[in-house]
């Protein structure tokens, strides 16, 4: 049995969590990540034995047999790199679809993130539109949250404020950004609402709270967060001075044609 701390998927996960902490996206126990890990990726690092079973309070039957590396509830991102076995767990969805089988980690007896329903429901929704999706990531980027305090929570207008502030945005997320109003976190309801948005978007903003992002890789999901948060910072820094120069719809159209992503832009979003 090889040491799981040398597994590429675990090393990249830890590196990503540390970067998110250092960028200020995950204060205290804020934020959580789940990574779908193929059997071939983890089979050399864990035994087949189930350490313990953790009940899920919803039906995840569509993910039976799939394994996820997840952050723990109440755990601090800043501590993950120093003690992965306490702060992370590798879980497999059991045959009943209502149990998580712990294969590794959470050695202090802890459990997966309280946002596990939102994560697993997002994985289910996203795998239907993209079978290569592996990552669901949640964090609290400050400038983006600030933007939800002062701008309308309308997907088209919110997305266009971002697209029009910074050239790379429409190329990185041409499908736009989903937006949810404030909803109680940690509940099945916010999971269902987020998963419904994930059919159309890879990024869903939770007003006064943060963002949920999906991707084929940790880099892709993290890159979307970085791009949105950096642009929110640019926008919120410029706004008090009065914004006079933005990228026009015609220029956005030039960008999507040049980078061949126009098919992802929703009808009626660019005039």
For residue 269, the minimal CB distance to Zn ion (Å) is 28
Phi/psi for 78 (5° steps) reads -65, -20
Catalytic residue (choose from 27, 62, 81, 115): 115
For Zn ion, the closer CB: 113 or 233: 113
For residue 142, the tally of other CB atoms under 10 A from its CB is 16
The H-assigned helical ranges of 23-92 are 39-42, 77-80, 84-87
For Zn ion, the closer CB: 208 or 248: 208
For residue 207, the minimal CB distance to Zn ion (Å) is 12
- Residue 22 burial (C-beta neighbours within 10 Å; 0-12, 13-18, 19+): exposed
For residue 20, the minimal CB distance to Zn ion (Å) is 12
For residue 211, the minimal CB distance to Zn ion (Å) is 9
For residue 92, the minimal CB distance to Zn ion (Å) is 25
Q: CA-to-CA distance for 253 and 266, rounded, in angstroms?
A: 12
How many angstroms separate the Cα of 217 from the Cα of each of 35, 56, 149, 194, 244?
8, 25, 30, 19, 37
Contacts of 145 (CB under 8 A, 6+ apart): 208, 209, 210
For Zn ion, the closer CB: 99 or 110: 110
For Zn ion, the closer CB: 185 or 261: 185
Residue 239: half-sphere exposure toward Cβ, Cα within 13 Å = 15
Query: Where on the chain is the footprint of Zn ion (CB under 5 A)?
Result: 210
Q: At what angle do helices 116-129 and 188-197 cross, to 10 degrees?
A: 20
For Zn ion, the closer CB: 127 or 190: 190
- Is 115 in the active site? yes
Taking only Cα atoms into account, the Rg of the chain, rounded to an integer number of angstroms, comes to 19
Positions marked catalytic: 115
């Amino acid at each position: 049995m090889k040491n799981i701390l040398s597994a590429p998927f675990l090393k990249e996960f830890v590196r990503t969590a540390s970067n998110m902490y250092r960028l200020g996206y995950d204060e205290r126990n804020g934020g959580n990540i789940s990574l779908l890990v193929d059997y071939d990726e983890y089979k050399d690092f864990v035994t087949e034995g189930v350490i313990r079973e953790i009940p899920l309070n919803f039906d995840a039957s569509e993910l039976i047999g799939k394994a996820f590396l997840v952050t723990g509830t109440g755990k601090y991102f800043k501590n993950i790199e120093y003690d992965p076995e306490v702060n992370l767990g590798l879980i497999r969805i059991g045959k009943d679809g209502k149990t998580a089988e712990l294969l590794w980690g959470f050695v202090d007896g802890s459990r997966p993130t309280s946002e596990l329903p939102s994560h697993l429901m997002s994985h289910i929704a996203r795998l239907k539109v993209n079978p290569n999706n592996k990552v669901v990531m949640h964090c609290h980027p400050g400038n983006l949250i600030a933007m939800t305090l002062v701008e309308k929570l309308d997907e088209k207008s919110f997305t266009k404020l971002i697209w029009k502030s910074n050239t790379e945005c429409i190329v990185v997320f041409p499908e736009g950004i989903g937006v949810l109003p404030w909803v109680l976190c940690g509940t099945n309801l916010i999971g269902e609402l987020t998963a419904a948005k994930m059919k159309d978007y890879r990024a869903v903003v939770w007003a006064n709270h943060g963002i949920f992002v999906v991707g084929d890789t940790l880099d892709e999901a993290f890159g979307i967060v970085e791009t949105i948060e950096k642009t929110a910072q640019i926008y919120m820094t410029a706004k008090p001075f009065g914004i006079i120069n933005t990228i026009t719809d015609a220029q956005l159209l030039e960008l999507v044609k040049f980078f061949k992503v126009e098919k992802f832009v929703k009808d009626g979003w660019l005039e």
